[in-house]
Amino acid sequence: MARSDAGPRWSDHAVDQFIGRVLQVGVMLSAAVVIVGAVMLLAVDAGEPADFAVFMGQPDELRSVQGILGGVLDLNPRAILQLGLVLLVATPVARVALTFVAFVIQRDRLYTAMTGVVLALLLYGLIWGRA
């Protein structure tokens, strides 16, 4: 992300490469967790009827990070699936956070402020969940 004369450790290219890697690892990790949850779910519920025509919302356990982690410890397949999906949603948030750090190190105030605003909005949505 660097567009200033930062040292070679934090060159544009190195930062972009690193962030690209984080995105790929995040997606692959989340897909792996989702596959584990999917196998566990289908092992028990494959023959259940699938009807999603009426919106009932998800139980509280699947709506917050704390609830999901609790369900994962109980080996609830739906909670494991949801954990994989939360990891996926967190991947672009991690990208913004890393970009923010890169701009802080480069003392680029304008872009530090901009990435800071985006990061705050994302964390607000993900943690408090009110818009």
| Residues in touch with another protein (CB under 8 A) | 1, 3, 16-17, 19-21, 23-24, 26-27, 30-31, 34-35, 37-38, 41-42, 45-50, 52-59, 62-64, 78, 81-82, 84-86, 88-93, 95-96, 99, 110-111, 114-115, 117-118, 121-122, 124-131
Residue with smaller CB distance to another protein, 21 or 70:
21
CB of 10 to another protein, least distance (A): 14
Residue with smaller CB distance to another protein, 8 or 19:
19
CB of 75 to another protein, least distance (A): 14
What separation in angstroms does the CA of 43 have from each of 12, 35, 36, 51, 79? 47, 12, 11, 18, 15
What burial class does residue 73 get, using C-beta atoms within 10 Å of its C-beta: 0-12 exposed, 13-18 middle, 19+ buried?
Answer: exposed
CA atoms within 13 A on the CB side of 64: 10
